[in-house]
Structure 1
Amino acid sequence: LQVDGQPYTVRGFTWGGTSAEETGPRMQGLADINGNTTRTWGTGADSRAIFDAAAEHDVRVIAGFWLLPGGGPGSGGCIDYRTDTTYKNDTKADILRWVQEYKDHPAVLMWNIGNEAILVVQNCYSGTDLEEIR
């Protein structure tokens, strides 16, 4: 991985939910321990505060886009990625919207689509269906 033509080693942690007031101090804490990167689980309207705080502290962000994992508590139900075109189309449009919004932000290092997207699909499917979805 290179950033601005120089080798870049990711040193950081996953960004958990935090209030706007805590964002700056937490980014400062990451920078204080020689961290240079954080990863989010989702990207949306509230991401600008994270990106801005990261840029202020010379931290980069791996901007995540959540995909429903299906079947776990609070997961949003069982998604069949083979056939659920409405979900796929809506999700693609959402991802493209936020990439367009933030693609030039100096804190964005890269995009991450689908953290743990198939983590608990065994709660929804079995046999051949499970293997095809995985």
Structure 2
Amino acid sequence: MKHTLILIFLFVTCYACKQESDATRVTISGRHIQVNDSKYTIKGICYHPVPQGSEQRDFKTLSQDLALMQEAGINTIRVYAPIDDKAVLDAIAKAGIKVIIGFGYDQKGFFDVYSGSFINYVNTYKNHPAILMWELGNEYNYHPEWFNGDVKNWYKDMNAAADLIHQNDTNHPVATAHGELPDDVALSLSPNIDVWGMNVYRWDNPEEIFAQWAAKSDKPMYISEAGGDSYMTMESDGFQQGENQSAQAQANAMILDKIIENIDQCAGVTLFSFTDGWWKAGNPEKQDIGGWAPKSSGVPYDGAPNEEYWGIVDINRNKKETFKVVQTKYNQIK
């Protein structure tokens, strides 16, 4: 019995050591991210897989999706809610892809900031090799009504949450996904944010934001959302009204070119989005035109965010024209 207990102890100890050794050490070096002391440029995609007819995220197509991501040269997935399934994270890590885990403010206690339960997730998965960063909020600066009419309340809560993560996990940075360029108030109230993600929709040219950010901060930034949809609400810029994959492909090519040209000032990009989301604008059984997104007038080339047409693949995982664009551009980033 004594020998059995010793063997069990050694097994548990070795397993814990393996988890520690498998864990990724992510650090900040100037304006860039490093993974295990090597520069890591985010060649990413926003990922929220919801099947046709559903409104809930589902990973049943994960193997197929990961294969497509590998083919496209994607090395990072950005998710809007935690993945509380080790098997899913294991599969992502095995594919050589990392994850930016997003925490919401009030998600009914599902690892959110409001309940404080987000830190339980951090402590559960902080040694998992798939984790790249923790991310707090998504475009919350557009929603002061969620914070008693004053977005400064969010910045203070976000800063406190980032501090708590730092106390519990020294191996991963904390980011946020801000709607556009953060102002001085946001920066002054959020010193614990290590990496600033920015959702940037400036037609097909986000170039100015890199110099604007450099004038404000010496911290890393990345483009946490950018891109175009594949539906033209009206004829514009030489593109016909209706479903138009060529418009999306051109917009994404132009956007990614500008990011690549400024990669010394930028830690990378998570393009929006991997798959079309039929749940976003109407009946989830069919693909609807329209939808709504805050501050979205900069969507190329019609200024209209057709929310169910953003994928680089469609709902059935057929590649759109922009898939090849992403593959080509990401292969240019070293």
Question: What is the CA distance between 1:41 and its match in structure 2?
Answer: 0.6
Name the % identity: 26
Deviations 1:6-58 (A, max 9, x none): 11000011110343321121122111111100111111534x34312211110
From the superposition, tell whether residues 44 and 131 of structure 1 become closer, same or farther in structure 2 (CA, over 3 Å).
Answer: closer
Greater C-alpha Rg: 2
Question: What is the CA distance between 1:118 and its match in structure 2?
Answer: 3.3
From the superposition, tell whether residues 43 and 132 of structure 1 become closer, same or farther in structure 2 (CA, over 3 Å).
Answer: closer
The amino acid of 2:139's aligned partner reads E
Q: How far, CA to CA, are the matches of 2:61 and 2:91 in structure 1?
A: 10
| Partner of residue 116 from structure 1, selected from 129, 132, 139 | 139
| Partner of residue 104 from structure 2, selected from 51, 59, 66 | 66
From the superposition, tell whether residues 124 and 56 of structure 1 become closer, same or farther in structure 2 (CA, over 3 Å).
Answer: closer
TM-score (norm 2): 0.30
Aligned runs of 1:28-39 on 2, under 5 Å?
28-39=67-78
From the superposition, tell whether residues 21 and 116 of structure 1 become closer, same or farther in structure 2 (CA, over 3 Å).
Answer: same
The amino acid of 2:150's aligned partner reads L
The amino acid of 1:54's aligned partner reads I
| Partner of residue 43 from structure 1, selected from 82, 102, 110 | 82
Partner of 1:7: 39
Show structure 2 runs of 5+ residues with no match: 1-32, 51-57, 155-334
Show structure 1 runs of 5+ residues with no match: 69-74, 77-86
Question: What is the CA distance between 1:131 and its match in structure 2?
Answer: 6.0
Q: How far, CA to CA, are the matches of 1:65 and 1:28 in structure 2?
A: 26
From the superposition, tell whether residues 89 and 16 of structure 1 become closer, same or farther in structure 2 (CA, over 3 Å).
Answer: closer
Question: What is the CA distance between 1:122 and its match in structure 2?
Answer: 4.8
Deviations 1:65-103 (A, max 9, x none): 1124xxxxxx98xxxxxxxxxx9661x2x1110001110
Equivalent pair of 1:61/1:108 in contact (CA under 8 Å) = yes
Question: What is the CA distance between 1:62 and its match in structure 2?
Answer: 0.6
Of the two structures, which has the highest relative contact order with CA contacts closer than 8 Å and spacing of 6 or more?
1
Equivalent pair of 2:141/2:151 in contact (CA under 8 Å) = no
Q: How far, CA to CA, are the matches of 2:102 and 2:151 in structure 1?
A: 25
Aligned pairs, how many?
112
Equivalent pair of 1:13/1:39 in contact (CA under 8 Å) = yes
Q: Does 1:130 align with 2:168?
A: no
Corresponding residue SS for 1:104: coil
Equivalent pair of 2:105/2:137 in contact (CA under 8 Å) = yes
| Alignment root-mean-square deviation, CA | 2.6
Corresponding residue SS for 1:112: strand
From the superposition, tell whether residues 21 and 55 of structure 1 become closer, same or farther in structure 2 (CA, over 3 Å).
Answer: same
Over 3 Å off, 4+ runs? 122-125, 129-134
The amino acid of 1:35's aligned partner reads I
From the superposition, tell whether residues 49 and 116 of structure 1 become closer, same or farther in structure 2 (CA, over 3 Å).
Answer: farther
Q: How far, CA to CA, are the matches of 2:131 and 2:146 in structure 1?
A: 34
